[in-house]
Structure 1
Amino acid sequence: MSLQAKYDQFQQTIESLNTKIVQLHSQIDEHGIVLATLKDAPPERKCYRMIGGSLVELVAGNAAKILEENLDGMKKSVATLTEELKKQQKEFLDWKEKNNIRIVKAN
């Protein structure tokens, strides 16, 4: 694999990890807003959730529990992806140093 191809591969991997982390942060924020709204609602109140293109009827109490579980899973995923991102960035820097790669900007 050429140096340019390896460089591009590192850049693409780092960019995709960053994108996924940003998406998860956005979903975490959305879940937080919904949980705050459901906190004020009576637990037996009807609510609806979109699952795979279908609306599913739930009660607020059950929906809040499901959202909290999803929120915890997303937070764990963000932590895992952040660690993977740091690892990839370190590998990239080490690879650039090992191969004496320098970024040259055009004027």
Structure 2
Amino acid sequence: MADVNEQQVVAQYKGMRTEIRQLAEKLAELELELNEHQRVAETLKSLEGNRRAFRMVGGVLVERTVAEVVPAVVSNGEGIQKVMGQVEELLKQKEAAANAWQTKYNIKSQ
């Protein structure tokens, strides 16, 4: 009976670590997306507002002006930053929980 319990503890710990790894990957993905938004916004800011610009909306390329696209790109970037903050906080919570679990059951990492 103790083996099953020990196996459950280790399986729970491995599940926690997998979830942490997935959150870290998502955070890295969001960071790349944020950098891309910032580069686009920076490039467009130096252009005239009435110049044509194209933007992907729901898989469809839409023609707009630079003046219309820049605020949307900046707004999306801010949204990504907000989500990144939430993911970072969740990641910290999950890491703390996994570390507490590891300490509680004296799990040795390889």
Q: Distance in 2 between matches of 1:3 and 1:12?
A: 14
**Code of the aligned partner of 1:7:** Y
Q: Note the 1:7-86 alignment, pairs <5 A.
A: 7-86=13-92
SS, match of residue 106 in structure 2: coil
Q: Give me the TM-score of the superposition, normalised by structure 1.
A: 0.91
In the alignment, which residue of structure 2 is the partner of 1:88? 94
**Code of the aligned partner of 2:43:** T
In the alignment, which residue of structure 2 is the partner of 1:101? 107
**Code of the aligned partner of 2:80:** M
Gaps of 5+ in 1: none
**1:60-88 CA deviation, whole Å, 9 max, x = no partner?**
11110001110111111111110110110
SS, match of residue 80 in structure 2: helix
Instruction: State the shift of 1:30 in Å.
Output: 0.5
**1:81-106 CA deviation, whole Å, 9 max, x = no partner?**
10110110000000111111112x4x
Number of paired residues?
104
Q: Distance in 2 between matches of 1:100 and 1:19?
A: 27
Instruction: State the shift of 1:51 in Å.
Output: 2.0
Runs of 4+ more than 2 Å apart: none
